[in-house]
Amino acid sequence: MVQMRSCIACRNRESSKGLLHLVAIDGQVTPDPDRELHGRGAWLHPRCFELATQRHSFTRAFKSREELGTIDLEDFLKRSLTNERYTNNRLTIDREQK
Interval 19-43: pLDDT, tens: 999 999 999 999 999 999 998 899 9
Distance CA 60, CA 68 (A): 10
pTM of the model: 0.79
For the domain with range 4-83, which CATH number is right: 3.20.20.80, 1.10.1660.10, 2.40.160.40, 3.30.1230.10?
3.30.1230.10
pLDDT digits 0-9 by tens, 72-86: 999 999 888 666 554
Listed by start position, the domains of the chain span: 4-83
Query: How far apart are alpha carbons 97 and 6 in whole angstroms?
Result: 31
